[in-house]
């Protein structure tokens, strides 16, 4: 919402700039707001339809593409979501958010190498980005690059000791590397504060059977 307001404000105060005509109009702001409102109600298809009523300039804007990516992902249309995020990246190649966004449909479609590429791109700009590190560790795990996956999960656990996803990932990476005792210890530590964690329960059972 803050970004939308900024766009409308710029279109009002910079009328003399040559690119001003390409900025979203006030009518576009109404479409954006309707999209947000429909999403808040859980109506993702209607939220996407509201974007279809944007002007050509608004429809091709960075924010519209970012929202299309998110809403298409929510609707399970991962290919379309990835396409929208890719276009958003093209408009703002230095931005982190569309590269984080595209990880969602890529993960859903198990495109591990693409997840790795985009996550690494984020980490080139933001070395300690939590989401990029977490998604990269998961992609590497699924690619069989277990040593690096374990290392990244360990860094996350060191930084976020209560993070259940990072701990379970570390446990499973250790288990796949044959470090059964270490894996069991990680799973037990996770179950101490998250006793119903299914991944930890399954991991501890698998370690006990080794």
The 10s digit of each residue's pLDDT in 114-130 is 999 999 999 999 999 99
Does residue 83 register a pLDDT over 50? yes
| 3-state SS class at 60 | coil
Measured between alpha carbons, how far is 18 from 3 in angstroms, rounded to an integer? 21
Query: According to the model, what pLDDT value does residue 138 have?
Result: 98
Query: What value does the mean pLDDT take over residues 33-48?
Result: 97
Residues 6 or more apart whose CB falls under 8 angstroms from that of 40 comprise none
Label each residue of 143-159 as H, E or C: CCCHHHHHHHHHHHHHH
| 22 pLDDT tier (thresholds 50, 70, 90) | low
d(CA 58, CA 92) in angstroms, rounded, equals 15
Domains and CATH numbers, the chain: 145-210 (1.25.40.10)
Neighbours of 38 (CB within 10 A): 19
Rounded mean pLDDT of 170-190? 97
In this prediction, residues 35-46 reach a mean pLDDT of 97
Does the reported pTM lie above 0.75?
yes
25 pLDDT above the threshold of 80: no
């Amino acid at each position: 919402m803050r970004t939308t307001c900024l766009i409308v404000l710029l279109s009002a105060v910079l009328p003399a700039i040559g690119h001003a005509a390409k900025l979203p109009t006030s009518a576009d702001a109404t479409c954006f707001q309707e999209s947000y409102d429909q999403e808040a109600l859980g109506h993702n298809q209607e939220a996407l339809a509201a974007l279809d009523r944007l002007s050509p300039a608004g429809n091709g804007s960075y924010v519209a593409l970012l929202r299309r990516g998110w809403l298409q992902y929510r609707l399970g249309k991962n290919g379309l979501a990835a396409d929208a995020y890719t276009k958003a990246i093209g408009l703002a190649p230095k931005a982190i958010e569309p590269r984080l966004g595209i990880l969602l449909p890529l993960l859903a479609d198990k495109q591990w190498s693409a997840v790795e590429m985009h996550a690494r791109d984020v980490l080139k700009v933001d070395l300690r980005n939590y989401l990029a590190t977490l998604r990269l560790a998961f992609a590497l795990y699924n690619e069989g690059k277990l040593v690096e996956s374990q290392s990244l999960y360990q860094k996350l656990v060191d930084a976020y000791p209560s993070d259940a996803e990072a701990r379970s990932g570390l446990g499973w990476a250790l288990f796949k590397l044959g470090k059964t005792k270490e894996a069991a210890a990680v799973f037990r530590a996770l179950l101490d504060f998250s006793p119903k964690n299914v991944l930890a329960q399954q991991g501890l059972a698998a370690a006990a059977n080794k």
